[in-house]
């Protein structure tokens, strides 16, 4: 099935005349109900289960210097989540990709944070049976955002380890990218209370899991490890594995204890929202000598180099 919207056929008047409220919404373009809209116009029903029950899945890919980075992997994960949640959308992979390209092209952003999502939707009869709901696909492109700001990228993030346990995989399958974020948000408040900038949550066994919007890696004796279970299989995490394979670095998915993390030579986090970002303080204690480590720096450099490599990215198509 192809994309139901033909951007050539549609004049997109709402875009040229779009109303941007700079105080409420970032400048961007959304796709909703067959139309391309400004972010302030993109609204959903309060009856949508995506809102009422967090019954939704999504994926976020970024565009850097006019190119999508590893879009295919994000589409794979998104369509995998739809299938696991028994959701259907009226677009296939090419249709979704076309909508994402259009959102970015119409937004004019060269560096963008691009989200595709599907909510359960609402049941026309307000029935409690999820099979009665009409699933809703949406997408949007807004300016690129990062977990770490420029200063934090330079000197490393300060994180706190929260005592909140990341929701276990037996409850919510973390391979389905989801908005189950209350644990992560509570962890963030713990971190702020303790003077840190972001949080790491533990898994149900007390090992390190992940943080609000990122996976975590530690480096010990030149070898990298990242939590194996109870975490979203991040595309940036996967990219770190791919970069390590190219660079001849050893990397493993394994349990990471809190003690091991604290004693690491280097720690970094990984997310589409910022890439590879160093961590130099944990609970107010420096990681090693508190400097961004050599392996972290090397991976950060090659991660961004890959954003110019046609094998890893695809230019935004303009309708
Ligand atoms: N873990 C969680 C809970 C996330 O929400 C995200 C991204 O939003 C990540 C990890 C990192 O995943 P990715 O590298 O695909 O952005």
pLDDT in tens, 256-301: 999 999 999 999 999 999 999 999 999 999 999 999 999 999 999 9
Q: Is 198 in the pocket of ligand 1 (CB under 6 A)?
A: no
pLDDT range class, residue 6, cuts 50, 70, 90? very low
Residue nearest to atom 7 of ligand 1 (CA): 213
User: In this model, does residue 255 exceed pLDDT 90?
Assistant: yes
Q: d(Cα 112, Cα 84) in Å, to the nearest integer? A: 28
Structure tokens at 154: 């330079």
Q: What is the mean pLDDT of the chain?
A: 93
209: number of Cβ within 10 Å: 30
Q: Is 59 in the pocket of ligand 1 (CB under 6 A)?
A: no
Locate tokens 């972010």: which residue? Answer: 39
Q: Is 213 in the pocket of ligand 1 (CB under 6 A)?
A: yes
Across residues 122-139, what is the average pLDDT? 95
**b (16+ CB within 10 A) / e for 270-303:** bbbbbbbbbbbbbeeeebeeeebbebbeebbeeb
| Each residue's pLDDT tens digit, 10-60 | 434 344 434 445 557 889 999 999 999 999 999 999 999 999 999 999 999
Q: d(Cα 139, Cα 132) in Å, to the nearest integer? A: 23
Q: Is 239 in the pocket of ligand 1 (CB under 6 A)?
A: no
Q: ipTM of the predicted structure?
A: 0.99
Q: What is the pLDDT of residue 23?
A: 57
Q: How far is the CA of 284 from the centre of ligand 1 (A)?
A: 24
| Each residue's pLDDT tens digit, 132-151 | 999 999 999 999 999 999 99
Across residues 199-217, what is the average pLDDT? 97
Strand blocks (E) in 206-284: 215-220, 223-226, 251-253, 266-271, 275-282
Give me the numbers of helices (H) and strands (E) for the chain, helices first please.
9, 15
The model's pTM? 0.92
Measured CA distances, 225 to 71, 139, 154, 177, 229 (Å): 25, 33, 22, 22, 12
Q: What is the pLDDT of residue 25?
A: 84
Structure tokens at 271: 């997310």
User: In this model, does residue 1 exceed pLDDT 60?
Assistant: no
Q: d(Cα 141, Cα 148) in Å, to the nearest integer? A: 20
Q: Is 71 in the pocket of ligand 1 (CB under 6 A)?
A: no
Structure tokens at 98: 């076309």
Structure tokens at 11: 């004049």
More confident residue, 163 or 213: 213
Q: Is 100 in the pocket of ligand 1 (CB under 6 A)?
A: no
Mutate to test the pocket of ligand 1, among 166, 177, 274 (most ligand atoms within 8 A of CB): 177
Q: Give the burial class of 9: count Cβ atoms within 10 A of its Cβ; 0-12 exposed, 13-18 middle, 19 or more buried.
A: exposed
Q: What is the pLDDT of residue 26?
A: 87
CA–chain centroid gap for 34, Å, is: 24
């Amino acid at each position: 099935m192809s994309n139901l919207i033909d951007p050539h056929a549609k004049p997109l008047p709402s875009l040229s005349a779009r109303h941007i409220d700079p105080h409420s919404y970032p400048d961007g373009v959304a796709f909703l109900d067959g139309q391309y809209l400004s972010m302030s116009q993109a609204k959903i029903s309060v009856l949508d289960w995506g809102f009422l029950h967090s019954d939704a899945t999504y994926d976020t890919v970024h565009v850097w210097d006019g190119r999508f980075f590893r879009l295919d992997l994000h589409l794979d994960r998104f369509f995998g989540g739809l299938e696991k949640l028994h959701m259907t959308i009226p677009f296939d992979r090419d249709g979704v990709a076309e909508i994402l390209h259009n959102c970015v092209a119409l937004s004019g952003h060269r560096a963008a944070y691009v989200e595709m999502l599907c909510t359960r939707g609402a049941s026309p009869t307000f029935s409690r049976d999820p099979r009665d709901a009409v699933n809703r696909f949406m997408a949007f492109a807004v300016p690129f955002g990062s977990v770490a700001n420029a200063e934090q990228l330079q000197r490393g993030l300060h994180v706190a380890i929260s005592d909140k346990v990341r929701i276990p995989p037996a409850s919510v399958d973390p391979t389905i990218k989801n908005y189950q974020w209350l644990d992560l948000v509570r962890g963030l408040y713990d971190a702020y209370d303790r003077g840190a900038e972001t949080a790491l949550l533990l898994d149900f066994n007390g090992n390190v899991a992940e943080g609000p919007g990122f996976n975590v890696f530690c480096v010990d004796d030149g070898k990298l490890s990242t939590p194996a279970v109870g975490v979203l299989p991040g595309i940036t995490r996967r990219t770190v594995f791919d970069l390590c394979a190219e660079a001849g670095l050893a990397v493993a998915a394994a349990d990471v204890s809190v003690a091991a993390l604290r004693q690491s030579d280097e720690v970094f986090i990984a997310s589409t929202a910022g890439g590879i970002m160093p961590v130099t303080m944990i609970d107010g204690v420096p990681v090693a000598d508190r400097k961004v480590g050599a392996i972290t720096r090397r991976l950060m450099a090659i991660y961004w180099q890959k954003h110019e490599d046609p094998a890893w990215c695809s230019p935004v198509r303009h309708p």
